[in-house]
Chain A
Amino acid sequence: MTNMKISSSELRLLFARHKLLAMLLALALIWLFFWHQTNGGFLRPNSISNLLLQMSVTGMLACGMVLIIIAGEIDLSVGSLLGLLGGLVAILTVNLGWNTWLSVAVVLAAGAALGLINGALTTRLRVPSFIVGLGGMLAYRGLLQLSTDSVTIAPVPDDLGAIAQAFVPPGLSWGIAVLIIVLTCCLTLARRRRHHRLGLKVPPRWMDALKVGAIGATAIGFVMVLNQAYGVPLPVLILLALLGVFSWITNQTVFGRHIYAVGGNVEASRLSGVNVMRVKLLVFMLMGLMCAFAGIVTTARAAAGSPSAGIGGELDAIAACFIGGTSMRGGSGTVYGALIGALVMASLDNGMQQMNVDTSWQMIVKGAVLVLAVWIDVATRSERT
């Protein structure tokens, strides 16, 4: 073996172990490129605020989608479902004049119910989820056009619009940033102590310190920059909370572990007593719930329910998951990875819009980046056996 090879395989190992690092590096490169091309415009506070807002819808879908893909399924109906649920909240508040919060609650419940229907078709009736999704994609879109007569419903009440247009007060943002830093410190310390007690390998102190430092610096940096605009947009805060909840589900709960097991080997999971059907049903239900979140935010942001809302949303969400290192074959993936993937997709959209790139070229670039990202992920994966 030559020296060259050893160093390349070491690099590969480094990236395989710290996938997060590689993804962040790629993101930084993309941002640097757009920053250069837009003469710094891309990284101005307003632009970043906009970018995060744009990402939050894809991010919400990606949160649900990553669980579905880990469980070994796919859901193509989420774009249409987002549109349908966004339309529903507009119809309830504008056409029927319902109270905003009641409507939101109803739409969330409807999202969960529709997700359950997708799940039941897949698990009980054993129609492959790809087909259920394909059918849902058409049917839900049709239902939306039928119920809105294919016209935009506007204007939505102010308090609904506020869900996407409001900002977190600067002081509170600082509080949350501090909370995040304290939480990361505590979690890291607890993990070090546990690993130590069980005789597992404890990562070097500098590495953990670096990690906590980086997370802290990012949190402070974002709050600082966003407070220069209007503050942290509310949907971004919601997404952050969802990231916390979904990471907790996947890492800490029995249900989360079962999702990975079902995606990794259905038969072995079933024989171990895992209720495969219930796990999949719940995962689809969470996906429906995420569609409701995303639909409400979309309608609130546009201040109108549009019959074309969410077209192509499923593709963005799926792409985000794969860019974030989720395995096509199920059984592995992370929520934070999917969210970084969503940020990559949103950055490409946002950056190219600012550069006034032709939409056809935007699609070509996004497609190429998706394939490239997954190729890098596969190539740096630790040795195939």
Chain B
Amino acid sequence: MFSQQPLFEMRDIVKEFSGVPALSGINLSVRPGECLGLCGENGAGKSTLMKVLSGVYPYDSYCGQILWEGEELRSRSTSDSERAGIVILHQELMLVQQLSVTENIFLGNEMRLSCGRMNYPAMHQRAAELLARLKLTDVNVAAPVMNYGNGHQQLFEIARALAKEARLLIFDEPTSSLSAKEIEVLLSIIDDLKRAGVACIYISHKLDEVMRVCDTITVIRDGKHIATHPVATLDENGIIGLMVGRALEARFPRTERQVGAVVLEARDVSCWDVTNPQRKRVDNASLQVRAGEILGIAGLVGAGRTEFMSAIYGAYAGRSVGEVWVAGQVVHIAFPADAIAHGLCLVPEDRKRHGIVPQMSVAENITLASLSDYARIVRVDSDSELATVEREIARLRIKTASPGLPVASLSGGNQQKVVLSKMALKTPKVLILDEPTRGVDIGAKYDIYKMIFDLADRGVASSWCLQNCLRFSV
């Protein structure tokens, strides 16, 4: 089925971050037209390995060899590896929010007229074609990307990768904000690419996607290569077993409980678009959550879930109206601080933009929202703060060498756990979760579900915004 000559080979890749090994001797190879699934727990080293391959880390910052069609590849930057034909779609969104959709899709790869002028007509047209291929039709390609939600932005990233002439396409969790329908579109595009002889590497914690699109699966754990098998010889439980090195009993720790009185009620919430004040993003939506209840809010990408939730939370950028009742009383929420004071907490969808403070340490991020709980008058009691942090790190199994490291050095899934723990520490009355398990591995998902159920047992209501959330609604 595939030509036997591999497109590239990585040999004995070792990468350390200030003495802590992230990759210890990994081998990997992919043939043209093959799709390789890369699986592993949060912090296993998947993204790091792909950054090595795509030149994000220059060739003298790691040990080992990369052979590209039999010749050694020494990329000093991503543009070197892009010239060879390696295109990577990063785990975190890398769009320039102020630039238009078209400008983002062609950033660094612009179509030119004479004298270096931008060829806007051609680029707009090509961008629209690319988006049409992704079945996105309601997008104005000349509008800035910040007008669009996370799911759309992820599709723009995919379009950007498709716009380049790739021979190897790396997808690092491309579907974490996409709905089932959009995922299906992406997977069929990957099938087309494979037929055209493009090699793909696909990283995802959603194993059904991996099983559906990949030909071969490689599992890594703690920076070490564990196994490579053809997909036909594996099932989901087999992959999980290889990933965690032990069997997971339950994947979903559901318990039954009584729900109490209504704690949060939102009535007739409407939001208007930030740039186009005529257009309603949310039209008279209402919501009721009871104590101990876990409410799922479903909807496609761009259906307005995020806008609805951020309007309740006082964080919506545009104009919004509506009434919010907490525990039977109408409250006025103008800022997130007001919402938190009334016992509402929000775990935002985009951890990079809204969740973490990258330069601050893991510990400082975890306690950011609840810092005054550790303060005697104004001074922070660092003993009790650190004790809490250590407990949280152990509870959610956040993988970090020390709580003092900057949070930006954590793997994506572990950053997500930090954001979640930050808001849960406020012990809110209502916890609003916008895609809380984005990019989190299966074991950690279990931990997070358990945490939410524990909170629910203590009477905390939560409302989830999810793509496929029917099975979560109580």
List chain A positions with a Cβ less than 8 A from chain B.
Answer: 1, 5, 13, 194, 197-201, 248, 252-255, 257-258, 260-261, 264-265, 267-275, 327, 331-332, 382-383, 385
Inter-chain contact B382/A194, CB cutoff 8 Å = yes
Q: Which chain A residue shows the least CB distance to B426?
A: A273
Residues of the B chain whose Cβ atoms lie less than 8 Å from the Cβ of A265: 353, 356-358
Q: Which residue of A lies closest to B408 (CB)?
A: A385
Instruction: State whether B359 touches A332 (Cβ < 8 A).
Output: yes
Tell me whether A264 and B357 are in contact (CB under 8 A): yes
Q: Is B71 part of the contact surface with A, judged by Cβ < 8 Å?
A: no
Residues on A with beta carbons closer than 8 Å to the beta carbon of B123: none
Q: List 27 A-B contacts (CB under 8 A).
A: A13-B18, A194-B382, A194-B383, A198-B387, A198-B390, A252-B380, A253-B380, A254-B371, A254-B372, A257-B364, A257-B380, A265-B357, A267-B353, A268-B348, A268-B355, A269-B357, A270-B337, A271-B336, A271-B354, A272-B368, A272-B422, A272-B423, A273-B336, A273-B337, A273-B340, A327-B359, A331-B360
Rounded to whole angstroms, the CA-CA distance of A273 and B346 in the bound complex is 10
* Chain B residue contacts of A258, Cβ below 8 A: 371
Is B369 touching A273 in the complex (CB atoms < 8 A)?
yes
- Residue of B17, B348, B357, B387 near A331 (CB, 8 A) is B357
For chain B residues 362-389, which have a beta carbon within 8 Å of chain A? 364, 368-369, 371-372, 375, 378-380, 382-383, 386-387
Establish whether residues B380 and A260, one from each chain, have CB atoms under 8 Å apart when the complex forms.
no
Q: A270–B359 contact, CB under 8 A?
A: no
Residue pair A268, B357 in contact (C-beta under 8 Å)? yes
Closest to B345 in A: A273
Closest to A260 in B: B360
Whether B357 contacts A261 by the Cβ 8 Å rule is yes
- Please judge, given known A-B contacts A201-B402, A271-B315, A382-B18, whether A1 and B387 are in contact too, CB under 8 Å: no
Instruction: Let me know if B63 is at the binding interface, CB within 8 A.
Output: yes
Bound-complex Cα distance A254 to B372 (A): 6
Knowing A254-B380, A274-B337, A331-B357, say if A200 contacts B404 (CB, 8 Å). Answer: yes
Contact of B315 among A255, A261, A270 (CB under 8 A): A270
Most chain B CB atoms below 10 A, which of A200, A253, A254? A254
Decide if B409 is an interface residue (CB 8 Å cutoff). Answer: yes
Q: Is there an interface contact between B378 and A253, defined as CB atoms closer than 8 Å?
A: yes
Bound complex: CA A260 to CA B17 (Å): 24
Decide if B208 is an interface residue (CB 8 Å cutoff).
Answer: no
Q: Is B60 an interface residue (CB 8 A)?
A: yes
A198: chain B residues within 8 A (beta carbon): 383, 386-387, 390
CB-CB < 8 A to B355: which residues of A? Answer: 268, 271
Please give the distance in Å from A294's CB to the nearest CB on chain B: 25
Tell whether B228 is near chain A: CB-to-CB under 8 Å.
Answer: no
B365 to chain A, nearest CB (A): 8
* Closest CB in chain A relative to B242 CB, distance in Å: 28
When each residue 32-69 of chain B gets 1 if its CB lies under 8 Å from chain A and 0 otherwise, what string results? 00000000000000000000000000001101000000
| Bound Cα distance A253, B377 (Å) | 9
- Excluding A273-B340, A274-B368, A383-B17, 13 further A-B contacts by CB distance (< 8 Å) are A199-B390, A200-B402, A201-B402, A248-B379, A252-B380, A252-B382, A261-B360, A264-B357, A269-B368, A271-B346, A271-B355, A272-B340, A332-B359
A258–B357 alpha-carbon span in the complex (Å): 11
Residue of A nearest to B351 (CB): A268
Complex: A269 Cα to B358 Cα, angstroms = 11
The answer to whether A257 touches B371 (Cβ under 8 A) is yes
User: In the complex the two chains form, is A253's CB within 8 Å of B379's CB?
Assistant: yes
The reply on B252 being an interface residue by CB < 8 A is no
Bound-state Cα–Cα, A194 to B384, Å: 10
Q: With both chains docked as a complex, state the minimum distance between the C-beta of A69 and any C-beta of chain B, in angstroms.
A: 13
Q: Which residue of B lies closest to A201 (CB)?
A: B402
| Bound Cα distance from A200 to B362, whole angstroms | 14
With a cutoff of 8 Å between Cβ atoms, the chain A residues found around residue B379 in the complex are: 248, 252-253
Residue of A nearest to B368 (CB): A272
CB distance from A256 to the nearest CB of B (A): 8
A268 with B356: in contact, given A198-B390, A254-B378, A255-B378 (CB under 8 Å)? yes
Q: What distance in Å separates the Cβ of B392 from its nearest Cβ neighbour in chain A?
A: 13
Cα distance A182–B378 when bound, in Å? 24
- Chain B residues with CB below 8 A from A197, complex form: 383
Chain B residues closer than 8 Å to A275, beta-carbon distance: 335, 337
Q: How far is the CA of A260 from the CA of B357 in the complex (A)?
A: 9
Structural contact, A331 and B359, CB atoms closer than 8 A: yes
Say how far A248's CB is from chain B's closest CB, in angstroms.
8
A383 touching B61 in the complex, CB below 8 Å, given contacts A201-B402, A267-B354, A268-B355: yes
Residues of A within 8 A of B372 (CB): 254
Inter-chain contacts of B380 with A (CB < 8 A): 252-254, 257
Q: Kindly report which residue of chain B lies nearest to residue A270, judged by CB atoms.
A: B336
Residue from B339, B358, B403 in contact with A264 in the complex, judged by beta carbons closer than 8 Å? B358
A268 to B354, CA, bound (A): 4
A-side contacts of B313, CB under 8 Å: 271
Contact pick for B63, options A1, A269, A274, CB 8 Å:
A1
Q: How far is the CA of A273 from the CA of B426 in the complex (A)?
A: 10
Q: Which of B348, B359, B383 contacts A271 (CB 8 A)?
A: B348
Q: Return the 3 tightest CB-CB contacts between A and B, nearest first.
A: A264-B357, A273-B340, A272-B369
CA distance A10 to B456 in the complex (A): 50
CB distance from A279 to the nearest CB of B (A): 11
CA distance A271 to B387 in the complex (A): 24
With A and B bound together, what is the CA distance between A264 and B359 in angstroms? 6
With a cutoff of 8 Å between Cβ atoms, the chain B residues found around residue A260 in the complex are 357, 359-360, 364
Task: Please report the C-alpha to C-alpha distance between residue A297 and residue B328 in the assembled complex, in whole angstroms.
Answer: 58
| A264 and chain B: residue at smallest CB distance | B357
> Which residues from chain A contact B336 at a C-beta distance below 8 Å?
270-273
Give the most central of A252, A255, A265, A331: most B CB within 10 Å. A265
In the assembled complex, the Cα of A197 lies from the Cα of B425 at a distance in Å of 23
Q: Which chain A positions have C-beta within 8 A of B356?
A: 265, 268
Q: Which of B290-337 contact A (CB under 8 A)?
A: 313, 315, 335-337
Residues in chain B near residue A201, CB distance under 8 A: 402
Which residues of B are found within 8 Å of A327, using beta-carbon distances?
A: 359
Task: Report A255 CB to chain B, min CB distance, Å.
Answer: 7
A233 vs chain B, min Cβ distance (A):
31
Give chain B nearest CB distance to A37 CB in angstroms. 40
Nearest opposing residue in chain A for B17, CB measure? A383
Docked CA distance A383–B336 (Å): 35
> Which residues of chain B have C-beta atoms less than 8 A from A383's C-beta?
17-18, 61
Chain B residues within 8 Å of A264, by CB: 357-360
Hey, what's the 0/1 contact readout for B157-174 against A, CB within 8 Å counting as 1?
000000000000000000
Q: How far is the CA of A255 from the CA of B358 in the complex (A)?
A: 18
Which of B60, B341, B371, B386 has a CB less than 8 Å from the CB of A1? Answer: B60
| Residue of A198, A264, A268, A385 with highest tally of chain B CB at under 10 A | A268
Cα–Cα, bound, A273→B390 (Å):
23
In contact, A261 and B368 (Cβ under 8 angstroms):
yes
Shortest Cβ distance from B419 into A: residue: A268
Instruction: For B378, list chain A residues within 8 Å (CB).
Output: 253-255
